[in-house]
Structure 1
Amino acid sequence: MTNKVDQYILKFPAETQEILQQVRQLIKTTAPDAVESIAYGMPAYKTHGKPLVYFAGYKNHLGFYATPTGHEAFAEDLSAYKQGKGSVQFPLDQAIPYALIKRIVAFRVAENLEKSTR
């Protein structure tokens, strides 16, 4: 049975689908308790009832959204990429920085856990 995130990913060319699935799996592995859904028209994840990260496929890049704190904490690592407020673009014609994405997700998991225990 396909869910809405599966349906979202299936709209893209095969090469992009592979990248989106890898990012999805990385999030699920790094944040096994995260709740997966579609929000703002893209795959979205929450932990402890709070937004964790979002990602989206585009023609030429992968959009990654870790809310402002995830981007602020990794500003130096992300400085090589085009950014917007709370977003970063990883070009599809370059190696996707999966290890960096994993570190950002782990940071956001810890941050949401800390907020939930206050």
Structure 2
Amino acid sequence: METFDDYLDKLDNPEHRARMNEVLDWVQATFPELTPKIAWNQPMYTDHGTFIVGFSAAKKHWAVSPEPAGMAYILEDIKRAGHDHTKQLVRFPWAKPVDYALLEKMIAFNIADKAECATFWR
């Protein structure tokens, strides 16, 4: 995806770059109504100007952040799946398969929950 090319080019590890590209492409294909953008040097998706989900890359993992309300909604799923997490993000090891079911649940929740939201953050 062209919007994220510069970001992806900065990922040194080609396997990490490919994984992040795969995930970002999946989001766009699954939720074509979302707008891709770079903000705070990270790829994210918005809907009618409000934040839906953001991504970041680190040495040992990539992470996804759906805001605290989105995290609270999927917290039990995160724990059951054994994913490392904080109050604001879920970390996924590069070497493990992508948990697309979890991603879909968190993104769909934020789209529905923020349908009437008029601000970027909750």
> By the TM > 0.5 criterion, same fold?
yes
Structure 2 spans left out of the alignment, 5+ residues? none
> 7-16 or 59-68, which moves further after superposition?
7-16
Matching of residues 1-118 of structure 1 within 5 Å: 2-3=2-3, 5-12=4-11, 13-79=13-79, 80-115=82-117
Contact 1:66 1:105 in 2 (8 A): yes
**Aligned-partner Cα distance in 2 for 1:23–1:112:** 22
**Aligned-partner Cα distance in 2 for 1:96–1:38:** 22
Offset from partner CA, 1:12-47 (integer Å, 9 cap, x none): 222111211121112212321212111121101110
With structure 1 as the length reference, what TM-score do the two structures score? 0.86
**Aligned-partner Cα distance in 2 for 1:99–1:6:** 25
Question: CA, structure 1 residues 59+15, in 2 after alignment: closer, same or farther (shift >3 Å)?
Answer: same
Structure 1 spans left out of the alignment, 5+ residues? none
**Structure with greater contact order relative to length (CA < 8 Å, sep ≥ 6):** 1
**Aligned-partner Cα distance in 1 for 2:43–2:54:** 6
Offset from partner CA, 1:41-84 (integer Å, 9 cap, x none): 11011102110000011111011001112111111111212212
In the TM superposition, residue 2 of structure 1 has moved relative to its aligned partner by: 4.3
Q: Which runs of 4+ in 1 moved over 4 A?
A: none
With structure 2 as the length reference, what TM-score do the two structures score? 0.83
Paired amino acid for 1:6:
D
Q: Cα RMSD over matched residues?
A: 1.8
Offset from partner CA, 1:79-111 (integer Å, 9 cap, x none): 212212211111112222122112211121122
